[in-house]
Homo-oligomer: A and B are copies of this chain.
Amino acid sequence: MPSVTVENYLKHLLLLAEETDGLVPMGALSAALAVVPGTVTTMVKSLAADGLVVHRPRQGVKLTAAGRRLALGVLRKHRLVETFLVQVLKMHWSAVNAEAEQLEHAISDTVLDRLDALLGHPSTDPHGDPIPSRLGKLHSQVYATLATCPLARPVRLVRITEQSAEFLQFAEQHGLLPGASARVTDRNLAAGLVTVQRPRGRPLALSLAAAGRILVEPAR
């Protein structure tokens, strides 16, 4: 059975692959795992020896089919646990990522199935992140973000791709939750600033970086 360390390497690799498509640079993985680059090189070589990743020296890493399968399993656990923590235990959505980071390695497949059933087989977690199916299918659509969507048009928030508790608390404070509707009234590339209008709310200023973490679809 893969160790906690291996599971974390694979899961982060899967997450990074979503935004990096192609090879994930060693530095990115090193940053995501909060480990020095030399450690990543060593570990990646050993993962490659186990057939879980492909390593192109000086270029990057990517998951093999086997590695991806494992990673999807861990991600499924992570997101179902988050959903459970919010829906059943009524925890705040800004706290559950940290908890799930541990629990994802301790939950058996049997427990996971029960949890899944209890929650009614949800397709997304509290942040709008898609939950991989039991068979390892990941429904990850490409969405616009508050940084890229058309101006003035009403949009519905579908997903917040940013785990930090501070950001999530800030977002909730201003009603920026999955399902909420909004409208980008102004976007100033030079200043790196986006202005968002919420129904019955003051205009809200966001950095371009922050806006890029909020995925949206056209409303209605």
Which A residues form the contact surface with B (CB < 8 A)?
A: 85, 88-91, 95, 99, 102-103, 105-108, 110-111, 114-115, 118
Please tell me if the beta carbons of A89 and B105 are within 8 angstroms of each other in the complex.
no
Partner of A102, one of B85, B99, B106, B118: B106
Q: Which residues of B contact A108 (CB under 8 A)?
A: 99, 102
Residue of B nearest to A90 (CB): B114
Given contacts A89-B115, A91-B110, A102-B108, list 9 more A-B pairs with CB under 8 A: A88-B88, A88-B118, A89-B114, A90-B114, A91-B111, A102-B106, A102-B107, A105-B106, A106-B106
Q: Which residues of B contact A111 (CB under 8 A)?
A: 85, 89, 91, 99
Q: Is A103 within 8 A of B114, CB to CB?
A: no
Q: In the complex, A91→B88 CA distance in Å?
A: 17
CB distance from A75 to the nearest CB of B (A): 17
Among B89, B95, B118, which residue has its beta carbon within 8 angstroms of that of A89? B118
Which B residues are in CB contact (< 8 Å) with A88?
88, 118
Chain B contacts of A103 at CB under 8 A?
103, 106-107
Chain B residue, CB-CB nearest to A115: B89
* Residue in B closest to A102 when the chains form the complex, CB atoms: B106
Docked complex Cα distance between A172 and B36 (Å): 52
Chain B residues positioned under 8 Å from A107 (CB to CB): 102-103
Bound together, the chains give a CA A102 to CA B106 distance in angstroms of 5
Q: Which residue of B lies closest to A118 (CB)?
A: B89
Least CB distance, A212 to chain B, in whole angstroms: 31
- Which residues of the other chain, B, contact A99 by a CB distance below 8 angstroms? 108, 110-111
The CA of A142 and the CA of B115, in the complex, are separated in Å by 36
Output the nearest chain B residue to A108 by Cβ-Cβ distance: B99
When the two chains form their complex, are residues A95 and B110 in contact, meaning their CB atoms are under 8 A apart? yes
The distance in angstroms between the C-alpha atoms of A108 and B106, with both chains bound, is 12
Give Cα A110–Cα B88 distance, bound, in whole angstroms: 14
A89–B84 alpha-carbon span in the complex (Å): 12
